[in-house]
Amino acid sequence: MGSVRISVKWQKETFNDVEVELSQPGLMLKNQLFSLTGVAPERQKIMVKGGMLKDDADMTKLGLKPGQKLMMMGTADKVPEAPTNAPVFVEDLPEEQQDLTGYSKYGAGLQNLGNTCYMNSTVQCLYRVPELRTALQQYPETTGTQYDTGHKLTVAAKGLFADMDRSAQPVPPFRFLLMMREKYPQFAQQNREGHYMQQDAEECFSQLMYTLRESLKDPSKGETSAIVQHLFGVGLHSKLTAAGTTETIEEDATAYSLKCNISIDVNNLSEGIKLGLKDDREKNSEQLGRTTVFEGSSVITRLPAYLTVQMVRFFFKADVQQKAKILRKVTFPLVLDLLEFASEDLKAQLKGPREAAQEVEDKKAGLAKDANNKRKAEAAAGETSKADAEGDTEMKDAGEAASSSSAAEDSVAKYKGQLTGRYDLVAVLTHKGRSADSGHYVSWVKQDDGQWIQFDDDEMIPRKEDEIITLAGGGDWHMAYLLLYRAQRV
């Protein structure tokens, strides 16, 4: 059905380029205008063909045309006031007040603006990706699409990350929240009392990722090269076969997260990912002449710099009309190896880098030194009448060791910077509660110096690595919902 851009006049203001999704009901437009004007949907009176716009109006039947101007009447609610004291930046603080906790080097907390913990925890996880921060810093604020809601949300993310870089106090993400609600009105939903409702953090993460994927491009590689795809995109190849036939379907796709499905047989992350890669679908079979189940699974063909894994803990429960939570304990590793999920071609590509990475680890662990010491000890024990021959043997061993060491260094140099298929855990987004649309979301982020910080809205709490392992679920404590891993390189 597409969309159409119109203008809306309200009081003395005119809002141009308001994008109307024709496939959505009238309430969607009202939510957009609420984000722009502060006038609650129930107070809005919008003149359209046939009278006032109703919440359930079919927008395709209104005959809206590009550039058409609509009139809106209504009184705005009181706009939330910014804090009396603006965010305090380190360079502006008196010396005795500068970073007393020592945590400002890890960023800043985010104020909760009314059930916005789902958004705050999402932002803190993405802030952990320095390449994404750099891409946002370079994003131009003035472009030909400055009225586009995706552009405005991206600019708001740029500003928010900049504030988090500089601030020594928790940052109020007012502009980012406003743009998020304008772009995705679902996050502006209110309950009967007029309070903003809790939302699903994974939906927030996915929607924000989609917007950044569309906005952030690499100018040096052309407009079609998406930075977000390079950072987070997982290449997948699926092969499905119709039951009882030889008919197959093969597809290639890019996903921005792997799913860890949770069943009674799933106890750890690898088992859940394996289940999530199963891909059974109902499709029409040409051989059978009817709809049948195509069974199969997907393998990974391309690895990202950062891997997101969603723990699929929520399902829609019809009797209570909400997303219920699976509390089962599912452990996850601090280092995740994706080799078992890779295609054969990808496994072959990873062979060299993995061997080179192992050489580096062996060198760090001193295994090469231990092996050399063992050879010397054996040589000393055998030092008898064959001293001359022994000497020849020692020289031979030394030469072989030097040759082996040189080959290992060449291997490391050849594959330096390449992916190994192993990933380090750097952030965990958790949920505490029994429903995705209630409870509380928090993020736990590993810093460059190895320190874990729990971001509970405006609070920053140091945590130990042992505490991260306890987020596997099995009770009412915080449990992992989204996991963010960073690729290990040679």
DSSP state of 8: E
Which residue has 């709490």 as its token pair?
461
Question: Which residue out of 230, 431, 440, 478 is catalytically annotated?
Answer: 440
- Residue 229, CB half-sphere, CA atoms under 13 Å: how many? 13
User: What is the spatial distance between Cα 122 and Cα 125, in angstroms, rounded to a whole number?
Assistant: 5
Q: What is the DSSP string of 293-357?
A: EEEEEEEEEE--SEEEEEEE-EEEETTTTEEEE-----B--SEEE-GGGB-HHHHHHHHHHHHHH
Secondary structure (H, E, C), 226-246? EHHHHHHCEEEEEEEEECCCC
What's the one-letter identity of residue 370?
D
Apex CA 86: angle with CA 83 and CA 90, to 5°? 140
| In contact, 5 and 18? CB cutoff 8 Å | yes
Q: Is 237 a catalytic residue?
A: no
User: What is the spatial distance between Cα 357 and Cα 384, in angstroms, rounded to a whole number?
Assistant: 41
Q: Is 440 a catalytic residue?
A: yes
Contacts of 265 (CB under 8 A, 6+ apart): 271
Secondary structure (H, E, C), 240-275? EEECCCCCEEEEEEEECCEEEECCCCCCEHHHHHHH
How many Cβ atoms are within 10 Å of 337's Cβ, its own excluded? 15
Question: Which residue out of 117, 125, 204, 260 is catalytically annotated?
Answer: 117
Apex CA 35: angle with CA 40 and CA 185, to 5°? 95
User: What is the spatial distance between Cα 197 and Cα 200, in angstroms, rounded to a whole number?
Assistant: 10
The 3-state DSSP class for residue 428 equals strand
User: What is the spatial distance between Cα 140 and Cα 216, in angstroms, rounded to a whole number?
Assistant: 10
User: What is the spatial distance between Cα 216 and Cα 218, in angstroms, rounded to a whole number?
Assistant: 7
User: What is the spatial distance between Cα 212 and Cα 226, in angstroms, rounded to a whole number?
Assistant: 9
The H or E element spanning position 412 is helix 387-415
Residues in the chain: 490
| Active-site annotation, residues | 117, 440
